[in-house]
Amino acid sequence: MEPVSYTAQWMAAARAIESERDDALFVDPLARDLAVPRGFELIDRYEGGGLLPFITIRTKFLDDSIAELDNGIAQVVLIAAGMDTRAFRLDWPEGTVVYEVDHGALLAEKDRRLAALGARPKVDRRAVPADLTREWLPDLEKAGFDPSRPTLWVAEALTFFLTEEQAAGLLGTLGGASAPGSRLALDILGRALLRSPFSRTFLDTLRADGTPWIFGTDEPEEFLAANGWKVRELREPGQPGVGEGRWPYEVQSRNRRGANRLWLIRAEIVGH
Amino acid sequence: MASAGIEKVRDWILGRHPERTELAEDVRLLDSRLVDSLSFVELVYVIEDASGAEIDFDSIDLEDFQTVAAIERAFFARGES
């Protein structure tokens, strides 16, 4: 498997660990089987720096982004879905279609494991094998996606691994396939986190593993606006409703210089 | 005798780790994960508050933050005399 597949296992391991807590923010009974063989080892390898609570809080934030969906949106696209199991564990409105886009080898392995577990999706789930570094919208449309209908796009833990140009291009691509009323839920790193000497060891480890964190911004509203999206909600872990009580750090006020930001974002398409 | 400022720093670190009751000045804060990549920024703010100095994030030298002794040397030594 490719290196990014191992980060998918890492996130599945984080979800498995969360699911076993008494105060779990969500329960993902499939995560443990999707995390092998390397997920738990990577939890240890990347330990520290708030990653485990961050993955948990982000998962819940994006779950909530789906739960608050307007009735007008009946197609949801999980971009670089990895070992995500939302199609199996969330309740979906009747008639919703969920597209999971990721590279073919990962999706095939995921489907093989899910089938062995007897897992049944709770929604019309369609796996879309695609190479996200090339033009992939045709693959999505082939699976049934209709760009004339509003969409919720979910890009979880994706922009980190892109360059700024690639991240901008992704937002532009999504925007171009978004009917009025479409929404986007995603997370973006702050820049300070990527520049901090205190993050160096962790960032070097990710780089050595072939999955460097590259892109971050301290001006997420401007970045989204420049690429066709208007931020509706901008949150940070530890705020009320976003992992308050589960985040082991202080939430820093917006103007505090040097602070490490992990942006959780809900946005809407700007009218064409 | 340690300055009041460095004691505030030490208390802040201990406050984050209720399992510890003391913190020797030569304990490696980063290697032992007493301070991690996200909490370091809070450490910087605590040092700024306690020392009155402003720390430039762009020119931070990790060596100044490795131990309580290093922090004291880098940010509190002048107030000692």
Structural domain includes residue A92: yes
Contacts of A256 in chain B (CB under 8 A): 45
Helix axes A51-67, A3-19, angle to 10 degrees: 80
- Looking up residue B19, the CATH number of its domain turns out to be 1.10.1200.10
CA distance to A3, A203, A237, B69, per residue, from A130 (Å): 16, 27, 31, 54
Contacts of B59 in chain A (CB under 8 A): none
Report the alpha-carbon distance of residue A27 to residue A90 in Å, rounded.
10
How many CB atoms lie under 10 A from the CB of residue B31?
11
Closest to B72 measured CA to CA, from B4, B11, B6:
B6
Identify the H or E element spanning A38: none
pTM score of the predicted model: 0.92
Number of domains in chain B: 1
- Looking up residue A69, the CATH number of its domain turns out to be 3.40.50.150
Q: State how beta strands A262-269 and A229-235 pair.
A: antiparallel
Structural domain includes residue A26: no
Distance from CA of B81 to the nearest CA of A (A): 31
B36 with A260: Cβ contact below 8 A: no
Predicted complex: ipTM over 0.90: no
How many CB atoms lie under 10 A from the CB of residue A17?
19
Give the dihedral of Cα atoms A55, A56, A59, A65; nearest 10 deg: -120
Domain that holds residue A93: 58-246+259-269
Structural domain includes residue A30: no
Number of domains in chain A: 1
Structural domain includes residue A21: no
Residue window 34-73, chain B: list those with CB within 8 Å of chain A. 35-42, 44-45, 57-58, 60-62, 65
A198 with B40: Cβ contact below 8 A: yes
Structural domain includes residue A162: yes
- What is the pLDDT, as a whole number, of residue A214? 94
- What is the pLDDT, as a whole number, of residue B81? 44
Structural domain includes residue A254: no
Structural domain includes residue A42: no
Report the alpha-carbon distance of residue A115 to residue A24 in Å, rounded.
26
Domain that holds residue B63: 4-80
Distance from CA of A255 to the nearest CA of B (A): 13
Contact B4, B46 (CB under 8 A): no
pLDDT at residue B80 above 60?
no
Contact A98, A74 (CB under 8 A): no
Mean pLDDT of chain B: 88
Render A100-128 in DSSP notation, one character per residue.
EEE-HHHHHHHHHHHHHTT---SSEEEEE
pLDDT in tens, chain A (272 residues): 677 688 999 999 999 999 999 999 999 999 999 999 999 999 988 887 788 999 999 999 999 999 988 768 999 999 999 999 999 999 999 999 999 999 999 999 999 999 999 999 999 999 999 999 899 999 999 999 999 999 999 999 999 999 999 999 999 999 999 999 999 999 999 998 898 888 888 899 999 999 999 999 999 999 999 999 999 999 999 999 999 999 999 999 988 888 889 999 999 999 75
Contact A152, A186 (CB under 8 A): no
A198 with B33: Cβ contact below 8 A: no
Chosen from B36, B45, B63 to mutate, greatest number of chain A CBs within 10 A: B36
